[in-house]
Each structure stands twice: as C-alpha cells, then as structure tokens.
Structure 1
Amino acid sequence: MTAGMVLRRLGAGFLVLWLVSVLTFLLVQLTPGDPAELIAGENATVEDVARIREQLGLNAPVVEQYLRWCADLLRGDLGDSLFTGRSVTETIAQAAPATLSITGLAIVIAVVVGVSAGLLAGLRQGTWVDRAVSTAATLGIAMPSFWVAMLLISAFALSNPWLPATGYTPLAEGFWPWLSHLILPATALGLATAAELARHTRGCVADVLVRPYIRTARARGASGFWLIRRHLLRNAAIPVVTVLGLQAGRLLGGSIVVEVVAGITGLGTTAINAVLQRDYPMIQGYVLFSAVIVVVVNLAVDLTYGWINPKVRVA
C-alpha cells in the first residue's frame, strides 16, 4: 500500500472522528435529564441548580459549548468529570488497560480458535468434523457473552484458585497474575467472534478449493501444508480479515457486560456510570476514544489487505 493511500485513509479516519464528535455531542445534549440537578441533590433549590449550571457552562448555546470542547480537545484536554472532578483523559487512561487487555486477548482467542476450526471444517467438507464445527459455531453465536462468562466462572474459577473469578491485575505486577485474570472474561467475550470467524473461514476455504489455480497447483504436485500456506490461506484470508475488523468494534462494546460480570473496573464500567450520571464530558471522551480504536483497527485492516494480496496494493 502506497503512502498516498495511507494518507487518504488517515484523512478519512479524521473525518469520521469529527463526525463522531459532532453526533456524540448533539446526542448527549438531547439526552433527558439535567446533570446539574443530579449534582445539586434532591433537596436543592432552583437557585442552586441554576448556579451549578452556570459554573459548568451548561447555560451557553450548544454551538459555543461544542467549539469550547473542540478547542480543549485540540490541546489534548477532554475536560473534567462533572461528578468526580477528575480529568477525563486521566480516567480513561486508568481504565483503558483493563478493557484493551480483555479485548486484545479475546481477539487472539477468536483468531486462533475460529480460523483453525473453520480451516479444518473447510478441508473436511461433508464429514462429521464439518458438521461438528458448524453446530459449535451456531451455538457460539447464540450464547450471550455474559452467560458464557458466568458459566466459565462457575466451572473453573470456583474450583481452581489459579483462575480468579473477578478483578484485574495490571501487567506491571507480573505476566501470569495479569493473564490469569483475563483468561475467563476474554474467552467468554471471544467465543462468539470465534464462531463467526469459523463460519466465514469455512465458507472462504470451500470457495477457494474449487478455484482453477488450486487444481493447477495440485496438478503440479503441491499438497499438504505447502498448498494450504501458499495458495489457500492467502486467498481465503481477506474476507476473514474483513470480518475480524468489523468484530473488533463489537468486542470493544461487548466488554462492558463482561467487565460487570467479572467485577473489572474498565472503560465499560466507566461508561455505564457516566451515562447514569449524565456526565457529559466522560461520555464524550469514552465515545471518542472508542472511535479512535475502531479507526485504527480499520486502518490496520486496510494495511493487512496489501500485505496479504499484492493485487490490492496495485489497485
């Protein structure tokens, strides 16, 4: 992929982030409820609520509030929480490692399990292996992640102290303590994506196997691992990478439920509290951070296309 293509993708990404910021700001303003009333409390007078609104700048026109927020954003300041008074940037930086760790490990589990199962089913079409993978994939898509998380905790965490049921340990405190707290929630979160990848991988492999260049390669003596690596995986990978890129945003959003079940204080818990409290700066910061992650993932997917298939680079 050329530098010009990367710059165009980056430009499109910045445009998406700007649109997300506008829509998020407007939707938050339209949300029922007044944060000033929540801060003031039940016994507050009208004068108290008005004073708090003035202090928070909520009486200014919406356009003025947005421009002021954008000006702070360009300086790297997402504002302060209306309730805790802490910097939104600091709060997100503290909560993000847990959520990104769960999401990252869930992606690894989904790729390893889903692609392996789909490849096996595609190579064994019509056999019991194919039927078993298809059935497991259907179940994996149908089962809610929070229910899977509770099952895994009941089955493994209660009888095995080396897999904690709740909590999160930062990576700085040790690799195994960090990983042991992530295995169950990440597995619960990644199984549905693994099922999706298995189904798409199976379909892509089945489609590629009937292509003329596969028959030609077999006629020339290519078989086994060489045929799979050289001809099969590269041509079947692009649709699978596309699905994985689309699922990345879903995994980031789905981590909210898993965090609650596993008792992990991450971005999900922070976002829920912000919505319940009408904490406008925190909501806007969370949505914008999530949008940045999705844009980065999509850019990585585009770059992966060019690495997998040289024809994409030429196009």
Structure 2
Amino acid sequence: MQPAISIRDLSKTYESGFQALKNVNLDIGHGEIFALLGPNGAGKTTLISIICGIVKASTGTVTADGHDIITDYRAARSKIGLVPQELTTDAFETVWATVSFSRGLFGHSANPAHIEQVLRDLSLWEKRDAKIMTLSGGMKRRVMIAKALSHEPRILFLDEPTAGVDVELRRDMWELVRRLREGGVTVILTTHYIEEAEEMADRVGVIRKGEIILVEEKRELMRKLGQKQLTLQLQNPITVVPTELAEYRLTLSEDGEEITYTYDTQSERTGITSLLQGLSERGIRFKDLQTRQSSLEDIFVSLVREQA
C-alpha cells in the first residue's frame, strides 16, 4: 500500500542562503501516529509547511495519500488537516461559524452533524455560539483543532498542539488522537513535551539541522538505545569499588553507601546476575535496590548531543 505521506530528496534553502532542510526522505504509513522531534530551528515546521503547501520546496517531491502536492495540490490539500503553532482565528466569529466555514473552504457541503461531533469531542459544544474573542487560550487551541478536522482529513498535522495549554486539554488531545488513529487517520505530531510522543507515537523521527538523523519504532528505539540503572543501597559503606568489578563500570556515591550499575536491555539478565554474585563473593551486601529506565527524552537528548 502506498504511504500516507511519501517524501523524496526534499530540500529547502531560503533566499538568505539558510538551508532549512537537507535531502529528507521519509515515508509515513496510513493510520500511524508519527512523532517528529527536534530542537528549535531543526526544520520541523518548515517540513510540515512544505507538505501542507504553505512553503515551496527547493528540490524534491512529496505525495499526500498518493497525490503530488504540486501537480495535484487540490486533491493533496483536501486530505490534510493542519493545527499550526500560532492561534489564528477570526476573533469576531462564533465557534460554530468559523469551524463550518473551514469545512466550506475545502469544497465540502454542509454537514452539521459532523461539526457537532467534532465540537463535542473537543468539549466545545457548550461554546458553539460564543465569539472566539471571549474564549480562553486553551479553548482557542481547541477551536484550531476543530477547524483542522472540519473537512474530515485523512492526514492530520499537529504542530506543537498543546504548547502553553493546560493538562486537561493535553489529556483530551491524547484521547482524540487515539480515536482518530482508530478511524484510520494518519497523525504527524511535533512537540516539545516528549512525554506526548512517548505516550502516543507508533514511530519516532528525530530531525537536527534540517536532516533526519533517525526514524525508528518507538518500542524498538527504547529497546535498542534505552539504558537502565540499578542502584544498590549497601548495608555497610565502602571506600572503593573492588578492581575485580571494574568491567561493570560501577559508580560509587560520595558517602560510599550506594553503587550504581548502568546497563542496556541486551545485557540485563547476565549483567545483573554476575554483578550481584561478584558483590556477594567479596562480602558486599545491600539492603535495598531501585531501578530506573531511560525515557524517550533521555534518548532524544543523547542522540542530539551525539550528532552535535
């Protein structure tokens, strides 16, 4: 099956000479939640803007649901919904009017039942007759999402959708995205809240300085690159780690009461078993232990530092 989004050799250089994207190649499948992560200025918004027809690429091709975004732009754009970072709505219109108008822009006939369902899903139904200017920032963000969903897109871009909004909206967004995915909608998410990607994404892409440096299934990424830490609280402090245990690269706390072993998932079983046996043979006993696993944020930070 053809991907929902297919990007080939995509580059963008602005008139100033700044190269925002460099030979990006990426496929995103139907019904997938894809998280695009990267530091500020990495090229996330430029990439989304090109796919959505807002910015023109310097070189390369992009198809959306099989439609070329240049030669078949009307069909391609009709498949896409975009929630941009900026809040751009008509302050003097009502919620119902602005969402219904957005549907009409794509040539769709009126469908009050669909608009009502979208507003209910976003907890906006009670505000349907309120003017945009009277809404809170979080409610305005919900309206932006409703506008993007008004024409029933098959591909939805969420560019920092929960930036500066409350926890309740963030949770509502997560639930809505899951329901959309269940309905076959492809969701591409950029976010500074990496816990969102960790919570929702099927795959993760990392972009830095305009280049895609990694694309991986989230679970596989965390399995391969994630690390775990085992911290042992000792019954009696020690002053130095025995040289026979040097291969484990243990970290000893300043007070000598804790040692920490950092390991990956592949060496988890044999490493811990042999370490505990080695400690026991040298009369080092522990009274408590705790473990910690790397988060997606830890992996992201290490990847960007490594590329830098």
Normalising by the residue count of structure 2, what TM-score does the alignment of the two structures yield? 0.26
Normalising by the residue count of structure 1, what TM-score does the alignment of the two structures yield? 0.26
Greater RCO (CA < 8 Å, at least 6 residues apart): 1
**Greater helix proportion:** 1
